[in-house]
């Protein structure tokens, strides 16, 4: 009987330590994914603001007919590759493709009523070009 109680004691000790180890691992995993999402959302807001500022700079230049603004962008934001898109209806939208898909949208301050917006920029290229043509009132992101 004494040998069996030692074996049961070791099995219980193993199960308790394995469950504590599993709970700590799960805690770190959920915190990592939560912070990755928060980092992506904040960096996507900055990315959208950068695109909007570049568009406003190009639109405000009355002497410029055609402009190409090139910006270096990070390859990943919060462990996710992403795509920045401009549309007439939605403004600037940055979508991240990681473990989950996140999307952050920003309006373009009523410029979509006078300018035609189109194009997508992928983060794999590590740069984005914003082409502004003031003659035909068009903005394209490549």
pLDDT tens readout for residues 91-127:
899 999 988 888 999 988 777 678 889 999 999 989 9
The count of structural domains within the chain is: 1
**Residue 65: both structure tokens together:** 């007919």
Please tell me the predicted confidence (pLDDT) of residue 112: 66
Length of the chain as a residue count: 142
Please tell me the predicted confidence (pLDDT) of residue 37: 87
Burial zone of 141 (CB within 10 Å; 0-12 exposed, 13-18 middle, 19+ buried):
buried
pLDDT above 90 for 11: yes
- Specify whether the CB–CB gap between 84 and 51 falls below 8 A: yes
Q: Can you give the pTM of this predicted structure? A: 0.79
Q: How confident is the model at residue 44 (pLDDT cuts 50, 70, 90)?
A: very high
Please tell me the predicted confidence (pLDDT) of residue 59: 87
pLDDT above 70 for 16: yes
Indicate the helix (H) or strand (E) that contains 128: strand 127-133
pLDDT above 80 for 1: no
Please tell me the predicted confidence (pLDDT) of residue 26: 95
Please tell me the predicted confidence (pLDDT) of residue 128: 92
Domain around 108 = 2-141
């Amino acid at each position: 009987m004494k040998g069996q109680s030692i074996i049961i004691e070791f099995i219980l000790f193993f199960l308790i330590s394995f469950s504590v180890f599993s709970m700590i691992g799960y805690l770190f995993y959920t915190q990592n994914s939560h912070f990755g999402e928060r980092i992506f959302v904040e960096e996507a807001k900055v990315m959208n603001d950068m695109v909007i500022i570049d568009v406003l700079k190009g639109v405000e230049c009355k002497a410029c007919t055609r402009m190409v603004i090139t910006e270096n962008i990070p390859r990943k934001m919060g462990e996710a590759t992403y795509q920045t898109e401009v549309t007439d209806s939605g403004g600037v939208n940055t979508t991240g493709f990681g473990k989950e898909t996140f999307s952050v949208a920003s309006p373009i301050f009523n410029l979509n009523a006078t300018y035609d917006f189109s194009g997508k920029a992928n983060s794999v290229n590590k740069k984005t070009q914003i082409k502004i043509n003031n003659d035909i009132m068009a903005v394209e992101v490549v």
